[in-house]
C-alpha cells in the first residue's frame, strides 16, 4: 500500500467517523431536518478538504483536523439536538470556550501533580532530617521525578505551539504519580500507614484517578496537536458562502 493511499484512507475514515456521529445524534429527529444537517456536514467537510488540497496540507493533517473538529463539536451537536427536540434555544458552547475550559482542566491537573511531587519531596526531606527513615523509597523517587516532569509539562501549556506536548506528558505522569505518592506515604507517614492499611481500596482508587486524568490529558493533546489554521480557514470559507 502506498503512502498516498494510506493518507487518503485516513481522511476517509475521519469523514466516516464524523458522518456516523451525525447519524447518531440526529436519530429520532424529523427526517428532513436530519438530512439537512448531514448535507451541511458533508458540504463543510468537502470544503475543508478542498481548501487543504489547494494549500498543500497533508492528508494526515486534514484527517486529524476533521477528527478534532468532531470531538470539539460534540457539546454543540448535543445542544442543537436538544433544541430540535424541545424548540428551546440554549447557549451554544463555542470552540474557544470549550478550548478554554479544557486548558483550565489540564492546567489544574498539572498543578495538582506538581503539588503531589513537592509534598512527597518535603515529607522525604523531613523524614531524613529527623531520622524517621534512613533511605529514599523507590516510590518516593518516582513520585518526585514525575512531579518534576509535570512541572515542565505545565510550563509547556502556556504556549499554543507546545501545549499538546505538555498535555501528553501530563497524561503519562498522571497514570502513576497518584498511586506512587500513596505508596510513598506508606514509608513517610505513620498516619498515612494506618489509613492505607485500613482502606485497602486506596491505591486502586489512586490508579483509577490517574487513568481518568490521563484520558482528559490525551483528549486535550489530540485537540491541540492539530494545525491551528485548518479549522479557522475552513470556518472562514463556510462563513463566506
Burial letters 72-103, b for 16+ CB under 10 A, else e: bbebebeebbeebeeeeeeeebebeebbeebb
What local confidence, expressed as pLDDT, does residue 233 receive?
46
- For residue 159, the tally of other CB atoms under 10 A from its CB is 10
pLDDT tops 60 at residue 239: no
- pLDDT higher at 49 or 239: 49
pLDDT tops 90 at residue 181: no
Residue 61: pLDDT band with limits 50, 70, 90: confident
Dihedral-angle region of residue 91 (phi above 0 means left; psi in -120 to 50 means alpha; beta otherwise): beta
Mean pLDDT of the residues in the chain: 81
CB 120 within 8 A of CB 177: no
What local confidence, expressed as pLDDT, does residue 163 receive?
92
Interval 189-209 mean pLDDT: 72
pLDDT tops 50 at residue 62: yes
Interval 179-185 mean pLDDT: 85
Residue 194: pLDDT band with limits 50, 70, 90: low
- For residue 8, the tally of other CB atoms under 10 A from its CB is 13
DSSP string, 168-232: HHHHHHHHHHHHHHHHHHHHH-HHHHHHHHH-TTHHHHHHHHHHHHHHHHHHHHHHHTS-HHHHH
CB 140 within 8 A of CB 171: no
What local confidence, expressed as pLDDT, does residue 110 receive?
94
Dihedral-angle region of residue 56 (phi above 0 means left; psi in -120 to 50 means alpha; beta otherwise): left
What local confidence, expressed as pLDDT, does residue 8 receive?
65
What local confidence, expressed as pLDDT, does residue 106 receive?
93
What local confidence, expressed as pLDDT, does residue 170 receive?
95
pLDDT tops 90 at residue 77: no
pLDDT tops 80 at residue 231: no
- pLDDT higher at 147 or 77: 147
For the chain, the domains span: 3-93, 95-224
Amino acid at each position: 500500500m502506498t503512502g498516498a493511499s494510506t493518507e487518503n484512507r485516513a481522511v476517509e475514515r475521519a469523514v466516516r467517523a464524523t458522518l456516523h456521529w451525525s447519524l447518531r445524534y440526529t436519530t429520532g429527529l424529523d427526517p428532513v431536518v436530519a438530512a439537512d444537517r448531514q448535507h451541511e456536514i458533508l458540504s463543510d467537510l468537502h470544503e475543508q478538504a478542498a481548501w487543504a488540497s489547494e494549500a498543500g496540507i497533508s492528508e494526515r493533517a486534514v484527517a486529524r483536523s476533521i477528527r478534532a473538529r468532531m470531538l470539539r463539536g460534540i457539546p454543540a451537536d448535543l445542544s442543537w439536538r436538544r433544541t430540535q427536540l424541545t424548540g428551546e434555544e440554549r447557549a451554544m458552547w463555542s470552540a474557544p470556550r470549550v478550548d478554554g475550559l479544557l486548558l483550565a482542566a489540564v492546567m489544574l491537573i498539572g498543578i495538582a501533580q506538581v503539588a503531589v511531587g513537592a509534598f512527597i519531596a518535603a515529607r522525604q526531606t523531613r523524614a531524613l532530617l529527623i531520622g524517621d527513615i534512613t533511605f529514599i523509597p523507590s516510590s518516593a523517587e518516582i513520585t518526585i521525578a514525575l512531579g518534576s516532569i509535570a512541572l515542565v509539562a505545565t510550563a509547556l501549556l502556556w504556549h499554543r505551539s507546545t501545549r499538546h506536548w505538555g498535555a501528553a506528558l501530563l497524561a503519562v505522569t498522571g497514570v502513576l504519580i497518584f498511586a506512587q505518592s500513596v505508596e510513598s506515604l506508606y514509608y513517610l507517614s505513620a498516619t498515612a500507614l494506618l489509613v492505607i492499611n485500613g482502606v485497602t481500596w486506596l491505591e486502586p482508587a489512586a490508579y483509577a484517578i490517574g487513568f481518568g486524568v490521563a484520558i482528559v490529558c490525551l483528549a486535550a493533546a489530540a485537540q491541540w496537536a492539530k494545525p491551528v489554521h485548518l479549522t479557522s480557514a475552513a470556518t472562514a470559507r463556510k462563513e463566506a458562502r
